[in-house]
Copies of this chain bind each other. A is one copy, B any other.
Amino acid sequence: MLTDLDLEALWRYRSTYSKPADFDSFWDATLAEARSFALDVEAVPVDTPLRTLDVHDVSFAGFGGDRIRAWLRTPRGASGLPAVVQYHGYGGNRGSAVENLTWASAGFAHLQVEVRDQRGGTGFMTRGIADPATYFYRRVYVDAVRAVEAVRALGSADVAVIGNSQGGGVALAVAGLVPDLAAVHAQAPFLCDFRRALNVCGRPPFTELTTYLAENRRADVFPALSYFDGVGFAGRAMAPAWFSIGLMDDIVPPSTVFGAYHAYAGPKEISVWQHSAHEAGGSDDLDIALDAFRSRLFQEKP
């Protein structure tokens, strides 16, 4: 069953989000502070059974100089390739070094970044929420921007970003913070249009915020969240973007994705999967991203 508005209403829907006056300066200052730490990229070859690809265990300085880890996968012996930077879903991790091989096998440098601290945990939606300066996602978004810088430092000039769920939300944030991305793919992106999300969504992780507010009845977290809302980043983003969403998604309400989509400033498309839940278009979304990114980054015709 539909979990939110029907498609016609989604095309008409606009988020009530409004960007705080100092949104841009907040992020300028945040990134400047992050860049006060040397990026210090390390890439250590990983001994894997793979014969067609190289894998490097990459680390670099994220927010506060903390080490952030990622896998870099490339076709064996290749370098200087266009890159795809991928962010993962809530509570996840960068996964196994020897899985998720499509992008590298398709000729991209594929940097799969790990969100700090999340591996199997929970409670991140409210960590440090009392102040934008201490909010967990301030760190995550900075780490994500630094990942783009890291893959460039490793030789990839052209960079696209992708992600599913939380990863899609992070990709949108990066799209708003990094001016010269080649392309963006956000599959069922989380972290958009928080006010709407809490009114519509009855499942974690959005409900971590609901639970927090029910216990902190006089707290107003929305001012703080307004610095981290995908709708805000969308309004700054200029790279061509592909969104996707399932209309039966009960984790990321479709209206919140349309909220970001309608606000997106750059060229954009959205794939609507009428009977999908949070998996959205699954491998069909991957096919769309591959086609889009190949024509953008390789000038290949799909």
By a beta-carbon cutoff of 8 Å, the part of chain A in contact with chain B is: 1-2, 6, 48-53, 75-76, 91-93, 95-96, 98-99, 101-102, 104-107, 119-124, 126-127, 198-202, 208, 210-218, 246, 248, 273-277, 279, 281-284, 286-287, 290-291, 294, 300, 302
Evaluate contact between A122 and B120: CB separation under 8 angstroms.
no
Chain B positions within 8 Å of A218 at CB level: 284
Chain B positions within 8 Å of A212 at CB level: 119-121
- Tell me the complex Cα distance, A1–B215, Å: 15
Interface pairs (21), CB distance under 8 Å: A1-B199, A1-B201, A6-B199, A49-B302, A50-B105, A51-B106, A52-B52, A98-B102, A119-B216, A120-B126, A120-B213, A120-B214, A121-B212, A198-B275, A213-B274, A213-B275, A214-B248, A217-B276, A217-B282, A217-B284, A218-B284
Residue of A95, A104, A127, A274 ringed by the most chain B CB atoms within 10 A: A274
- Tell me the complex Cα distance, A117–B227, Å: 22
- Tell me the complex Cα distance, A198–B276, Å: 11
Chain B positions within 8 Å of A106 at CB level: 48-51, 98
- Tell me the complex Cα distance, A26–B263, Å: 48
From B98, B122, B201, contact of A211 by CB (8 A):
B122
Top 6 A-B pairs, shortest CB-CB distance? A123-B123, A120-B215, A96-B283, A213-B275, A52-B52, A120-B212
